Amino acid sequence: MGDAADVEIDVPDDVVHWVHAEGPDALLTEAVGAPVRIQGTVIAADEDAVVSIRLGTDVLLVEFATARHPVEQGRPDRPSLGDRIELSVPHIDVCPYSI
């Protein structure tokens, strides 16, 4: 085990695919360079495409595809407040910082 660090997690790409989910909050990947699976609860969904997702004690902001970037046929552009969701993204950026 290594040292603990405070980090900011950035999802650089718009989220296009998401599903309703059950189970614990998660931020998982199978291997370095593999897609990252994120599961949590939507705690804010603003008028724009940004959605706040609660992951344990942390909050992750992600941008969902909008009308400019079509989403799956028949699905809403983004989840609603209180939804438990799972999404997969090609990669995340992790940036350490000091408090």
Kindly state the tokens that stand for 78. 């983004």
Average pLDDT over residues 5-18: 86
**Exposure of 62 by Cβ count < 10 A (0-12 exposed, 13-18 middle, 19+ buried)?**
buried
Per-residue pLDDT, averaged over 4-21, amounts to 86
Q: Which residue has the higher pLDDT, 10 or 72?
A: 10
Percent share of the chain, pLDDT over 70? 86
Cβ distance 25 to 55 under 8 Å?
yes
Q: pLDDT tens digit string along 66-82? A: 744 444 555 566 788 99
For residue 99, what are the contacts with CB-CB under 8 A and spacing of at least 6? 6
The whole-angstrom separation of Cα 39 and Cα 32 is: 19
Burial of 53 (0-12, 13-18, 19+ CB in 10 A): buried
Q: Which of 23, 30, 28 is nearest to 38 (CA)?
A: 28
Contacts of 7 (CB under 8 A, 6+ apart): 94, 95, 96, 97
Report yes or no on whether pTM surpasses 0.85: no
